[in-house]
Structure 1
Amino acid sequence: MLRGILSGPWVGRVCFCGVLAISLLRGVEPARAEGDATVVALKDRIRTAIQTATDGSEPILAAIGKVYAEREHTLLWLDRGKPTRRGEALLQALKAMQDEGLEPEDYDVSLIEKLMTSDTPVDQARADFLLSRGLVLAGADMSSGRVNANAIDKDMSPVQRRPDYAALARDGLVASDPQAFIQSLAPAGRQYPALKKALAEWRERVKTETYTKVPRGELLRPGNCDPRVPLIRKRLSETEADVPTAQGDPNCYDDGLVAAVKRFQDAHNLSVDGVVGPRVTASMNIPIEEKVQQIIVNLERRRWAPEAPGSRYLLINAADYAAVFVDDGQVAFRTKVIVGTAKDQTPEITSTMHSFQTNPYWTVPTSIAGEEYLPMLRRDPYALQKSNMRIFADWSSDTELDPGTVDWTSVSPKAFPYRIRQEPGASNALGYIFFPFSNKYGIYVHDTSSRFLFTEGSRNFSHGCIRLQNPFAFIEAAVKGSTSVNRARVEAMANGGRQASFGFPAPITIMVTYQTVFADDNDKLQFRDDIYGRDRKVFAAMRKTRTFERAR
């Protein structure tokens, strides 16, 4: 039978198939060798990265290495030296991170493109690895921020989200649409997309617009004449609508321009008095490029923490001098606030309020006692008694001192040993209501005896605490539905000089932020002055190059 097949017409067919099989096998060998070389190169790339990892990068590299190991170190983004459809999509997604205010080069985009042109297994393995690392980093940056907010400034302690590198690698490296995966990690809420849209718009504006610089000088009041007036008019017309032309002498500060300046002051949370002083000119002279940087920084801030920290919270924006109380997801109360000076800044923190007190004592911090009150005591030992303050021997004793018996010239302002306490009453710095909450800065929310300061536009006057304009209205909103406490009862206690503590019916999350750019309720973009200089610090931190591997 076999002899018949071999001697018949099958001979030619068998010979042909054999030649074809041999040819195919010869083609497989180089491909297999190339694949084996890529696997070896990828293993070496991952091993080297982990061995030379800098502090903090190990979890990222370990998460990526685990996914590759589970897939026997086959490439995820390249095939036969060319990027796959997913690989191309990921590369474009990494380039598009600039739309989020992030730098594509943070994800090695240029190096990846260069490596993709190489046909060596080592370069292909490295390109694939960098694409994977880029995706995990982009996902982490999008979901929790590019920088560690708590390492930038001592007064910045937001509860920043932590990236889950294992989940980002596990889900992202196998996602059918890597760009959609990255975008799915963007912060929820309306602020982030509003800022992202604004970034695109302002980047276009910066290409064609410049702002006229207004020189500083003497205070310019309505009716004054000054050569700076035409410059102010020109500067406002560059960004503000309906700035009228001069009504007479172009150097005179007329009513039409005063109205335009007041609108500018109101939009930038400055005192709305029409007077052009240092703060107004400084705000006018912020370059348009810095406006773009502000938007980028505030996109980053939005990535650090949720826009809404729950369903019941008091959100304070120190940069806007404003607070809003949200209960059951609905705005229940708004108010103006006073925050810390540039020297004694209000920190960015998140905590929980459980209670409040009427007619509190104010125990003066040692720093304030040494810096502000000691000079007064040196001039007049009884000066503080006029403000209803008492001085005690130390912080653990109730032994009151006669300030006239102390040699105040020998007391060090940096080691003030005595305890100063202000008694409850109308002049008490905390006012009639005090809202404590746990934090490492020793600040709190409270009423104030200096209510006239709420008429100011820029309200950074405190030592770091937050003063509420309408504390009783806040209490009314916060205890709504309670059967044990109401506003009338609290006001009666406060006005009667009685001390009492009350618990909220449910805890209130307090979140102090510093949003210098945001969309208002009408979706209009609002800019606020960087009174604490934090925008520049955050932007500088975002531009620092990340290092993942130590030099060998």
Structure 2
Amino acid sequence: MMNKNLFYVFLCGSGVLLLLSCGHKKKHTAPKQKQIVANVRQLDEVVKESITERLSLISDNEGYLEDSILAFRPQALEDFYQQHENAANWSDHGKLHPLADSMMYYIRNSYDIGLPPARYHAKALNAAIEQLQNDATAKKDAALWAKVDILLSDAFMKMTSDLHYGAGPRDSITLRADSLYSDDFLKEKLQQILQDGSISTAFEGLEPTHAGYLSLKEAMINFREKYTDVSWDTLPSNYTDTLLFRQLLANRMVQGGYLDTAGVEVVDTVMLKTAVKKFQNEFNIYPDGIAGKRTITALNRTAEDWVLQAGINMDRWRKLPDTMPREYIMVNVPGYTLRVVDSGEVMLESRVIVGTPRTRTPLLNSYMSNFMLFPYWRVPYSIVFKEMLPAIQRNVGYLASKNLEVIDKDGNAVDPHTIDWSKLSKNHFPYVLRQMDGVDNSLGIMKFNFRNKYSVYLHDTNNRGLFKNSMRAMSHGCVRVQQWDSLSQYLVRMDTASHKGDSIRVWIERGEKKQVDLTRRIPIYLRYFTAEGRDGKLIFFDDIYAEDKVLRKSLQ
């Protein structure tokens, strides 16, 4: 029989093992943190041993190079060093190569390409290199030299990939056939810079060449030059002392360069309002000169936070293919803008209205197939059950007030007064509600169709005054187009045989219901860009669907 005490020890020990194996993070095996050599002439050999040890621990440590630093492509890194017999690549005899300085320059200034330095081990590398440059003992530390070498190699591979494919995850609407570089490509790139001594040459050609990306990059660099060394105070979002708040706001305007108080004893209301308008214009906020909640939130964001927002959008451009179609339609959902592009030139631009945060406009790729004049609007069931059925049950006259007719399963119109609406519900509704054409139709005069699984489309609207709003996320998901007439004329401009440009206007004058099939397929993309470059300046849009928050985690 097993000794009782021994039995308890066995159970307790098993319990400890069970606890350790269930949901507890595995503790990584740390490489030697210090290996001081007596003679610098021995350094390269000991560095090689330290690199060998560190690489051998990568797989055991689940891909981690250090306690909190995950290797980008562990196998590519290990294979590269194995080809070089695990020798150091960024230093010799206790001295960093000029190439290392060049790489550190790219890391420290990676925001210029829309990528945070933290992705490339900036903190760890800066601290280690400072030690190597200023501490006599550290210069003889083979473990520190090995750490710097591997981190630089990993950072280079990661930046190489990020420049072309982006740092964010591959999304469901990407147009790229490929999504990553092979290990061999990354190893060849690293070998290339070691031979040529030029990182810029290796990075050349990796970034997108789209006009939107290039203008965003240019604006990003200009923004950083203006604000990198500028700091400012934060403002309270709630306050009771109006005079104190005005003083704090004036100080913030001075710090941002929007207000010059030189020779001014008292900042009056007009001066302060003008300064606030300058800020609002720069950050694409409606320029009313009032420091409301939205303006205060924007004032309190750091320059780095704005830069990161621009970087997120550069990353979105990297998800597009290297070459876009010659002609396409691009809807920027948070920018409330539609653009028709031909050979890189914007041929048509229009304000749009998009879905609310609760009824989002989906991001998608498709082709424009046709457009319809004086279309019926088949009301989506989601709107029927959430909004219309309760109103109809209260008063059946609601249908006539909204120009709605009831259609049965056979396509026949039904007198709504013959229906017992109290017995209808989401689980039993054998009808379709259809809004008849005319000036009250929610789709307006024209509807543009493209195939998609969300049943969304572009269309005119019977409430055109809403295009004046600066915040235009207010539809049920479809995209309302202000310049619907210009868009229709553009789509048929090459169809001279039918003279459809003139025909469309005649049909509209007559109020004729028509479907115009397009003779060529024009790609349409619904995308999400919360920043763009315009005339060298960054233009920001609200993150209306909180999509930026998701990408921030990937970039940081």
State the TM-score bracket (shorter-chain normalisation): 0.7 to 0.9
1:104-253 alignment runs, 5 A limit: 104-112=117-125, 114=128, 117=138, 127-148=148-169, 150=171, 159=175, 162-166=179-183, 167-175=185-193, 176=196, 177-182=198-203, 184-188=205-209, 189-205=214-230, 207=231, 209-210=232-233, 234=250, 238=254
Task: Note if contact 1:199-1:296 (Cα within 8 Å) is conserved in structure 2.
Answer: no
Instruction: Report deviation, 1:178.
Output: 2.5
1:400-452 deviation digits (Å, cap 9, x = unpaired): 54434544445445886643222333222222222222344332211111112
1:274-353 alignment runs, 5 A limit: 280-290=292-302, 292-305=304-317, 309-353=324-368
Query: Taking structure 2 as the reference length, what is the TM-score of the superposition?
Result: 0.72
Q: 1:98 and 1:456 mapped to 2: Cα distance?
A: 33
1:493 counterpart (493, 507, 530): 507
- SS in structure 2 of the partner of residue 190 of structure 1: helix
Instruction: Report deviation, 1:477.
Output: 2.7
Task: Note if contact 1:313-1:509 (Cα within 8 Å) is conserved in structure 2.
Answer: yes
- SS in structure 2 of the partner of residue 492 of structure 1: helix
**Structure 2: where are the runs of 5+ without partners?**
1-38, 133-137
Question: What amino acid does structure 2 have at the position aligned with 1:63?
Answer: A
2:53 match: 41
Mark the CA change 1:260 to 1:421 in structure 2 (over 3 Å): closer, same or farther: farther
Q: 2:278 and 2:284 mapped to 1: Cα distance?
A: 10
Q: 1:228 and 1:39 mapped to 2: Cα distance?
A: 59
Q: 1:240 and 1:536 mapped to 2: Cα distance?
A: 29
Instruction: Report deviation, 1:473.
Output: 0.9
Question: What amino acid does structure 2 have at the position aligned with 1:331?
Answer: V
1:360 match: 375
- SS in structure 1 of the partner of residue 109 of structure 2: helix
Q: 1:457 and 1:216 mapped to 2: Cα distance?
A: 27
1:33-70 deviation digits (Å, cap 9, x = unpaired): 758746753662465467789xxx99933333444455
Cα RMSD (Å): 4.4
Q: 1:215 and 1:34 mapped to 2: Cα distance?
A: 60
Task: Note if contact 2:51-2:87 (Cα within 8 Å) is conserved in structure 1.
Answer: yes
Q: 2:477 and 2:394 mapped to 1: Cα distance?
A: 27
1:499-538 alignment runs, 5 A limit: 499-520=513-534, 522-538=535-551
Task: Note if contact 1:45-1:126 (Cα within 8 Å) is conserved in structure 2.
Answer: no
**Structure 1: where are the runs of 5+ without partners?**
1-26, 151-155, 218-225, 544-552
- SS in structure 1 of the partner of residue 334 of structure 2: coil
1:441 match: 454
Q: Percent identity between the aligned chains?
A: 23
Aligned residues: 487
Task: Note if contact 1:39-1:74 (Cα within 8 Å) is conserved in structure 2.
Answer: yes
Q: Find out whether 1:380 has 2:401 as its counterpart.
A: no
Q: Find out whether 1:470 has 2:483 as its counterpart.
A: yes
Question: What amino acid does structure 2 have at the position aligned with 1:341?
Answer: T
Greater shift after overlay, 322-331 or 405-414? 405-414
1:86-118 deviation digits (Å, cap 9, x = unpaired): 344334433332444534333234445649758
Mark the CA change 1:59 to 1:241 in structure 2 (over 3 Å): closer, same or farther: closer
Q: 2:438 and 2:239 mapped to 1: Cα distance?
A: 43
Mark the CA change 1:197 to 1:468 in structure 2 (over 3 Å): closer, same or farther: same
- SS in structure 2 of the partner of residue 204 of structure 1: coil
Instruction: Report deviation, 1:134.
Output: 1.4
1:115-138 deviation digits (Å, cap 9, x = unpaired): 975867776555433322211112
Q: 1:30 and 1:267 mapped to 2: Cα distance?
A: 58
Q: 2:549 and 2:63 mapped to 1: Cα distance?
A: 35
Mark the CA change 1:315 to 1:231 in structure 2 (over 3 Å): closer, same or farther: farther
1:359-398 deviation digits (Å, cap 9, x = unpaired): 222222221111111221111234223333233445xx52
1:64 counterpart (73, 77, 80): 77
Question: What amino acid does structure 1 have at the position aligned with 2:434?
Answer: R
Q: 2:532 and 2:284 mapped to 1: Cα distance?
A: 13
1:394-473 alignment runs, 5 A limit: 397-398=410-411, 400-413=413-426, 418-473=431-486
Task: Note if contact 2:88-2:146 (Cα within 8 Å) is conserved in structure 1.
Answer: yes
Task: Note if contact 2:90-2:99 (Cα within 8 Å) is conserved in structure 1.
Answer: yes
Instruction: Report deviation, 1:171.
Output: 1.8
